[in-house]
Amino acid sequence: MKQVQEEFAFFESLMKGLTAIFGTNCEVVLHDLTDSYESTVVMIENGHVTDRRVGDCGSNLGLEVLRGTVRNGDKYGYFTNTRDGRVLRSSSVYIRDGEGKVIGCLCVNFDVSNLMVADKTIRSLISSGEGEKEEEFFVNDVNQLLDALLKKAMEEVGKPVSYMTRDDKIRVVKYLDQKGAFLITKSGNRICQFLDISKFTLYSYLDEVHSEIQPSK
């Protein structure tokens, strides 16, 4: 191929295929770089993105390649701006003849301005910077809820029940009391079973926990 015009049908199908996928915010441009740089655009889809049309010139990046300042001018996923300030994410691939001489360039310019605005909005909604993060258990019954609280209490202590000391078990009881676990009907039986203690011991631990939080007189 000595000129991009020789493969117009292929490039036209390729360009239409790309814009069909990415929509009207995606501009695809084919440049012929074998003639005057004043009129390199020979085919364009969605030219409104950069406000260009067939017969317009190429960008400064193409000049650098033709000048030899840049040997391999292919660039992928770089960001640039339109004259009115919109943000584009672009890729430029240079087309060469059989001798390696640059004869054209295929450029894809995707206007991501709206996506960036949407991204900023989404980040402000899901950011944990100002809103508190709470761990919430979504279960089907209170037994599952109690099991989830017991598991979390064990994680807070940092060791399995078989390795817990008396003080560790009191910490578990304190955690469960603060989380309202004892409001669940017959939760005491399950907690005693989990901690391998008697009900008398459980009530003793609860008394200690409550005495800790009693305001001093």
Residue 196: band (very low, low, confident or very high) from pLDDT cuts 50, 70, 90: very high
Centroid of chain to Cα 159: 35
The pLDDT, as a whole number, for residue 131 is 55
Using CA atoms, how far apart are residues 137 and 195, in angstroms rounded to an integer?
21
Tokens of 202: 């459980």
Give helix 142-157 / helix 187-195 axis angle, nearest 10°: 40
CA distances from 31 to 37, 107, 133 (A): 9, 8, 52
Q: Is the pTM of this model over 0.85?
A: no
pLDDT at 126: 77
> What order do you get walking across the sheet with 41-45 strand by strand?
41-45, 26-32, 102-111, 87-96, 75-81
Residue 109 has pLDDT above 60, yes or no: yes
- How do residues 18-49 score in pLDDT, each as one tens digit? 999 999 999 999 999 988 888 899 999 999 99
| Phi, psi at 31, each rounded to 5° | -110, 140
Q: Is 190 exposed, middle or buried (0-12, 13-18, 19+ CB in 10 A)?
A: middle
- Domain assignments of the chain as residue spans, ordered by start: 4-115, 142-210
The CATH homologous superfamily of the domain defined by 4-115: PAS domain (3.30.450.20)
pLDDT in tens, 142-164: 899 999 999 999 999 999 999 99
CA pair distance 182, 66, nearest whole angstrom: 78
